Each structure stands twice: as structure tokens, then as C-alpha cells.
Structure 1
């Protein structure tokens, strides 16, 4: 518990998590508000539409999580941490728990904020959250943010360089996983195993795809996709812990 308290103090004593949290909320809720205001009978407002832009907030949270670890290496404060806590894995695990929990909270704020602003803009449209699928679509955003933060911390721990970690995370999530599907013959088979694609599958399983959205034959159901995303992230984190334990700080 002491390590968790220390990591919480370290995290919230810097400006980056506050700015990233605010930016994730403003961007995601703002875009959702614009879309909700322009929905019509041809493009109706649904619960799924209110959550269609959660990825904008997630990208900011990925940056926040990477910064939480890479800035310690940048300013060499990680050396003091490892001197105070010789068990490096315990220190890194405490940081992962704190940052990931914060990411999950931001995800819930983003999700329900987007739903709330849509309801406020179009009060006559029925977007009540009634079914288990709709609850997963909204409340599940926090779980995806939580797992995504673990993935980002693992990358940051492995690379230790802010620019490199942020660039890799954004290129992977924004470009690689989107474009891998256009590879002839094998693209679809590869894309259905991508971690962030499966995270999105957890949220959108059972909903109607948007016009022009590619239909992917996923290997798992909704909860299986989240489990797969979590397994990839935790596996990568374990590798990062082993590497961090063996090399110099």
C-alpha cells in the first residue's frame, strides 16, 4: 500500500496526467457533441454512436501512461525509486496499478460524458442504456482504457524514451492496426489478432457496423476479445519487467 501511495503522489504531483485527462474528456465529448447535434433519420443517434469516438480519448491516455514511466527515465528519478525499492518489479507494478486505474476512471468519464452530452443535445431521442450489450458498450470503455494503459506502460518501460514510446504507440494504434487489413490475402487474418482491434471488438460486439466499416471474422466473442487484449498487454508488461530488472536504470 505504501508503494501505491507513493506512486499516486508522484503521478498527481506532475501536470501531465491532469492535462491528459482534461484533453481526453474535451476532445472525445466535444466531437461526440458535434456528431450528436448533426444526427438525423438517415444517421440516427444511438448508444453506439455516442461511444464511436472513444478512441480519441484513448490515444491521449496511452500518451499519459507512457509519460508516467518514460519521464522517470528521462530525469533519472527512476534511479532514486530503485534505490529506495530494490525490488524493481514491485515499484513498477505499483506504478502500473495506479496509472491503469486512473486510465480506467478517465475512460468511464469519457464514456458517460459522451452519452450524457448526447442525451442533453437530443433529449427526445431514446438512447437509454437498457441491455447488457449497451452497458458493455458504455461502461466497458473504462476497461479498455485500463488495459490500454498497461500496454502503454509496458512499451514505455521497454523503450525508456518518451518520443520513441509515444510514436510507437500512436503509429501502432492509429496506422498499423488499421492498414494491416489491406494486405492482400493475409491482411484480414492478421488484423483479427491485433490487440486494439480486439479491444474495440469488446465494446462493439453485437452492434450494427457503420457504413463502410470492414467486417472482421474475430476469433473470440466480446469478453474473449477483452481477455485476449488483456493477455497481450500483461504478457508485454511481464517482458518489460524482466528487461527492467536486468538492465541498468
Structure 2
């Protein structure tokens, strides 16, 4: 409990987590608002085409929960995916900043069990980020439904339909935190850790898919693509070897390997 209290003080007494949280809220809710407005305009235009006899009323693209999830997962995907990137920044800096300013030495002197320090950091940040992501996902859905209105949003419902996004996003965020803590502990440098965590899912993994059939065969084995498989934010026509839950398990194993390597390395080398 003392370790958790110390990590809580470190997390709440610095400015970067506060600013990242504010940016996360603005980005995620703003994305839901924008996506909702775009879909409402599309449905309204389609209704005008129906009145003009240019379209079939049965083909009106009323957004469903599954479509709405694409606009309310700014924590996990979308353009440019600010939500989960900011979570990774906070988690990585929680480790690398201590190495940068040398405070990690005092932490390890006070608590020789170094593994418990990393576990406490990851546990505290993951719980806080998961709760925040769950709240933002719900608020995003409510904003999305409110913006689309009673006509365009008639198929949107919390009681009916696919509500996977409400638990999928927090699960993803928890794994992302452990991954970021692990990468930060392995590299120890903020710039290097953030470069890996941002460039890998945003740039490298999507580029692989552009190399034709060979690229797609490699793409389905990449960690963040498998996380997207679980979140339903990537292409479903790729040659996947497993379903959404298999994608989550694959990503979890990858995170466990990175975090396990971080625990091993932290206990073997000097602070």
C-alpha cells in the first residue's frame, strides 16, 4: 500500500498526466462529435434524395452501435488515435522521468523489490486510465446519439445492439499501459520509448499492409493489428488466423513478454 501511495503522489503531483488527460478528453469527445455530425449530414442528404425519388427509403444508412463504435473509439483508433497515444505517453514517462532525474535510485533503495515498483506503477495507471476510458466511451456514445438526433440515431441504443466497445476499449487501455511501462523500463529514455510506442502502431504496422499479399500475411501477426482485430477497427478481410478474442489474447501475450522482459532487466542491471 505504501508503494501505491507513493506512485499515486508521483502521478498526481506532476503536470504531464494532467495535461495529457485534458487533451485526451478533448480529443476523444471531439472525435465523437465530429463523426456524429458527419453521419447526420449523410443521413439527412439521403432523406433528401429519397424525397426527390433518387434513392430507395430502405437503403437509408442509419448508423448502428457497431458503426458508432468507429467514431467513439478515439481512445483506441481513429485519426490520429490521440486517446491511447496519450495514455502511452503518461505511462512511459512515469518510468523514464524517474531515470532521467535519478529519483528511481531512491525508490529502489526504499523498496529493494524492484518488480513490485513496476507492477504498482502499471497497476495504478492502468486502473485510472481504464476508468477514464470507460467514462469517455460512454460520454462519446451519448454525444454521438445526441448529435445524430432522433431520426438519424434511431438505431443507436445502449440496451440493444452491439455494446462491445464499452468493455473492449478499457481492456485495451489496461494492456497498453503495461506495454508502455515495460518499454519505458527497457529503454529508460523518454525520447526513445515514446518514439517506439508512437511510430510502431501509427506508422510501421499500417505500412506493412501495403506490401501486397506478403505484407498482409505479416500484418495479421503484428501486435497492434491484433488489438485492432479485437476492437473491430481494422480490416476484416485480411487472412486472420483467429477471431477477435484470439486477437486480444495475442496482444496480451505480446504485452506479457515485453513487461516480463522489463521486470527481468530492471532486477539485473544498475538503476
What TM-score, normalized by structure 1, do the two folds share?
0.90
Larger gyration radius, structure 1 or structure 2: 2
Residue in structure 1 matched with residue 227 of structure 2 by the alignment:
199
Indicate the residue corresponding to 1:19 in structure 2: 19
Give the ranges of 4+ consecutive aligned residues of structure 1 lying more than 6 Å apart after TM superposition.
none
Structure 1 CA distance, aligned partners of 2:67 and 2:106? Answer: 46
How many positions carry a matched residue from both structures?
A: 242
Counterpart check, 1:37 vs 2:65: no
Go from structure 1 to structure 2 and tell me whether the alpha carbon gap of 1:60 and 1:49 turns closer, same or farther (over 3 Å shift).
Answer: farther
1:135 aligns with 2:135: no
* Residue 86 (structure 2) aligns with: 60
How far off its partner does 1:246 sit? 1.1
Deviations 1:8-62 (A, max 9, x none): 2221121222211221121111022012012123664332343323322111111
Do residues 144 (structure 1) and 172 (structure 2) align?
A: yes
Alpha-carbon distance in structure 1 between the residues aligned to 2:200 and 2:65 = 27
**Does the 8 A contact of 1:50 with 1:114 survive in 2?**
no
8 Å CA contact retained: 1:151, 1:236: yes
**SS of corresponding position for 1:51:** helix
The aligned counterpart of 2:9 is: 9
- Residue 116 in structure 1 maps to residue 142 in structure 2: yes
Q: Structure 2: 5+ residue runs without aligned partners? A: 47-60
Indicate how the Cα distance of structure 1 residues 214 and 135 shifts in structure 2: closer, same or farther if over 3 A, else same: closer
Partners of 2:18 and 2:170 in 1: how far apart?
Answer: 17
Aligned to 1:177: 205
CA distance in 1, matches of 2:95, 2:68: 32
Q: 1:248 to 1:198 in 2, by over 3 A?
A: same
CA deviations over 1:164-193 (Å, ceiling 9, x no partner):
111111100101111111224421111111
The change in CA–CA distance for 1:92 and 1:112 in structure 2 (over 3 A counts) is same
1:43-122 paired onto structure 2 within 5 Å: 44-52=62-70, 53-54=74-75, 55=77, 56=81, 57-122=83-148
| CA distance in structure 1 between the aligned counterparts of 2:238 and 2:139, rounded to whole angstroms | 29
SS at the partner of 2:261? helix
Q: Which moved more, 1:108-117 or 1:72-81?
A: 108-117
Deviates further, 85-94 or 49-58: 49-58
Alignment-derived partner of residue 246 in structure 2: 224
Whole-angstrom distance in 2 between the partners of 1:216 and 1:69: 36
Q: TM-score, normalised by structure 2?
A: 0.83
